A and B are shown apart, each in its own frame.
Chain A
Amino acid sequence: MNTPKTKDKLKELFHEIKMEKSSDDFMKNLMLRVEKEATIQKKRKIILNYISITIGIASIILIPVLIFYFLNIKITPIQLPDIFSEISSVFENFSIDPNIALLGLVILLLLLGDSILRKFLSRKNELT
């Protein structure tokens, strides 16, 4: 197909070319772009997660609704067994001190705030 003479001469010629190096700034600039791209990809992933969760919740609600609607199934009120009425009567006599309830609510809010803040800070650390 080709003479080894020509092939070798060209090969020798190519190997005579000195391998050059890219500029020193190249890697720095490239990694800056890579970081930007990684941030975009992360954001895209988060948005996709939210969208998929929303779609999941919507389908959990919508699918039974649609099944009930198209199959013309009527929902009859559920009769609670006696045991439930007994429990509800117990809770009727149950009294809670509003101060204790408020304290519990404050603790719950503080815990929620703490976990949101921690999540936010860790995400910020990941990005920087």
Chain B
Amino acid sequence: MDKSNDLYRIQCVKAGDISAFSHIVSTYQRMVYNVILRLVNNREDAEDIMQEVFIKVFKSLNSFKEESEFSTWLYRIAYNTTLSELRKKKMFFSSLEDNFSNQEDDDILNDIDDISTEERIQYLEQAIKMLSSEDALIITMFYMNDQSIEQISNITNQTVANVKVKLHRIRKKLAIEINKLIEG
């Protein structure tokens, strides 16, 4: 994603050229859509939330300071909007209890290679839906969107140390749930 292209398009939108906004949407919609899609049960809900995200981006474009990175700014809006939309739609995810802290990392995800790709993805998607929406967003941004810990800390407005701890816990939770699903 070209940073200067983004800035040029933002300036065009600010100057009143709405069509430039469609280019911004095209650049980021796939990523935003796929992150949201992991959290909701159907495509319609994901598209509704994504629409809210981009409308908020359009509305707040004037407040975007061009010295910061646009993608991080956009993902921050996406993160906050998705969480509030999920709360509004009452899609609360069952937050797993932290009763796994004494479990060793080495014990988890051992059997994952014995099952088919389809099953692996299905189990992963089920496990993500068992996380809290905040945790699900963080882990999806980290792995699927390849966001760095620093970027996630900027997006979620949390310290780097906090994000690291959270990611560690979420990874453990996910691995345990996937293992449980594999064992049936």
Contact = CB atoms under 8 A, between A and B. Distances in A.
Interface of A: 1-3, 5-7, 9-11, 13-17, 19-23, 26-27, 29-31, 33-35, 37-38, 41, 126
Contacts, number: 97
Main secondary structure of the interface of A (DSSP, over half): helix
Interface stretch (B2-10, B47-55, B65-73): B47-55
B33 interface: yes
A3 B172 CA distance: 10
Q: How many B residues are at the interface, by size bracket?
A: 35 or more
B21 interface: yes
B171 A2 contact: yes
Interface of B: 16, 18, 21-22, 25-26, 29-30, 33-34, 37-38, 43, 46-47, 50-51, 54-55, 58-59, 105-106, 108-109, 112, 117, 120-121, 124-125, 140, 143-144, 164, 167-168, 171, 174-175, 178
B105 A22 contact: no
A17 B140 CA distance: 11
Given A6-B108, A22-B50, A41-B59, 4 more contacts: A2-B167, A6-B175, A26-B47, A27-B22
